[in-house]
Amino acid sequence: MRTLKYFFAMTAFLILAGVLPQHGLSKTDNKGVYVIPIEGEIEKGLTSFLTRAIHEAETNHADLIIFDIDTPGGSVESASEIGKLIKGTAVKKTIAFVDSRALSAGSYISLNANEIYMVPNATMGASAIIDQKGNAAGKKAESYWRAAMKSAAEQNGRNPLYAVAMADESVDLPKYDAGKGELLTLTAQQAEEVKYSEGTVKNLDGLLKEVGFANAKVHHVDVSFAEKFARFLTNPIVVPILLTVASLGLVIELYSPGFGIPGTMGIVSLVLFFYGHLVAGLAGYESIVLFIIGIVLIVLEFFLPGAVAGILGIAAVLGSLFLASGNVKYMGISILIAITITIIGMVVMVKVFGKKMKLFKKIILSDSTNTESGYVSNVNRLELIGRIGLTKTPLRPSGTIMIDDERIDAVSEGGYIGKDVSVIVMKVEGSRIIVRETLQKESPASRDG
């Protein structure tokens, strides 16, 4: 019960922490320019930040949004959502300011803005869609992405040929160093030449002057600490690590007395998982509620007969993880990685560190119930070997014999031995006493051994 209290306390903190970032809107009566950074990898956490930032600009009736872009690309799904955000904003004008690079998904995001400006050494393009292993995606995904790039270019009056060449290496544009087998990547000069850029400027101040907002009030929307932390926690590499630490810690805690460091690490990892997905806008409170229900059912399994509560609890926990992620395939892979590493980790720790670490001494039975330690499983009647007795029941091949008025269970060497027949003990194997028919009669000498 102490574990449950600890978990519920951490969950309450998670819920409160998830709510706090939502109050980050700063309202002002000053119209002007909002500068919103799009930096690093394109993923779900960035989508949540941009949703908040664009809403802030709309709430304050901004005249212009400048997306300050420097990204190597990332998730196509996230890029598509960001593209919809930019196209759907109520702000009259949007500009993609390529401050260094807008590659892969970054080029798609840039094409969704009304205008594009670049610094002299900036690049834009190389937008082929790849899978999680870094290989080219399937034909359906490639076809979708080419169509998306083409549509993004056309909606703002740009020649779609170059957008398609960024995503499809079969398009031949040798003039721009993009022959067959190579993806198109435009420099600032080339982008301006093909009208993918409205101009080349030295910096943000130069851009503001170029578009007529040199004297406007500029609002920089920064990523909050909670959002930065959420982006880190929802990173495709970090999620399997969190789930692995959680599962490994809770499994170790399950076999340890009391509640200690492994269980704490497991619960903290789960809290961080849900916190990151909650702040990033991927998870709702329904996933947390489902997770809590699952934990309660698993705990009840220890007190209720049958396995129904445990099975339902595990199903609820797994369901909450899938519900929080929003991507069934990705979460399935993450859970599989976590389970595999947990199993391997437990085997390694038990085999290698089992007798050295105090924690595993509590889990592993190291005592041996051998004869040297004083343990005896059966009385070994070796003193009966050679003794002669009389069968009290037929041996078929087992039955009962009498030796010195003691009834003893015995078994014949193989054949049938009738009742009241003289037998001799040939072997003793633990509790198994093996006899053979004999014509001898029990004598005092044999009785004495």
Per-residue HEC secondary structure of 52-63 comes to: HHHHHHHHCCCC
What pLDDT does residue 196 have? 96
Q: CATH 2.40.50.140: which residues of the chain? A: 382-437
> How far apart, in Å, are the Cα atoms of 34 and each of 122, 188, 270?
22, 23, 36
In sequence order, the 6+-apart residues with CB closer than 8 A to the CB of 438 are 388, 422, 423, 424
CA distance 118 to 139: 32
Position 357 scores a pLDDT of 52
Q: Find the Cα–Cα–Cα–Cα dihedral 307, 311, 317, 319, rounded to 10°.
A: -160
Helical pair 2-19 and 285-300, crossing angle rounded to 10 deg? 180
Bridge partners of 98? 69, 118
Residue with tokens 């205008």: 115
Cα angle value 54/56/60 (rounded, 5°): 120
Q: What does pTM read for this prediction?
A: 0.62
Check residue 157 and give left, alpha or beta (phi > 0: left; psi -120 to 50: alpha): left
SS3 of residue 100 by DSSP: strand
Question: What would the CATH number be for the domain defined by 31-223?
Answer: 3.90.226.10
Q: Which residues of the chain form CATH 3.90.226.10?
A: 31-223
pLDDT at 354 (0 to 100): 55
Report how far apart, in Å, the C-alpha atoms of 279 and of each of 21, 153, 327, 397 are. 7, 32, 17, 76
pLDDT for the residue 347:
80
The type of residue at 228 is: K
pLDDT digit of tens for each residue in the chain (449 aa)? 455 455 555 555 554 454 444 434 444 444 589 999 999 888 877 888 899 999 999 999 999 999 999 999 888 888 999 999 999 999 999 999 999 999 999 999 999 999 999 999 999 998 877 655 444 567 788 888 999 999 999 999 999 999 999 998 888 888 887 777 789 999 999 999 999 999 999 999 999 999 999 989 999 998 888 877 887 888 778 888 998 888 888 777 766 655 667 778 888 888 888 888 887 766 677 888 888 888 888 778 767 776 788 788 888 888 888 888 767 777 888 889 888 988 888 787 777 665 555 555 555 555 555 555 555 556 678 888 989 999 999 998 889 999 988 999 999 987 889 999 999 999 988 778 999 998 776 544 444 44
Structure tokens belonging to residue 327: 């991507």
Sequence-distant (6+) residues with CB within 8 A of 318 are 294, 335
pLDDT at 364: 53
Tell the CATH superfamily of the 382-437 domain: Nucleic acid-binding proteins (2.40.50.140)
Q: Is there a contact between 4 and 189 (Cβ–Cβ < 8 Å)?
A: no
As a whole number of angstroms, the distance between CA 431 and CA 31 comes to 96
Structure tokens at 18: 């998830």
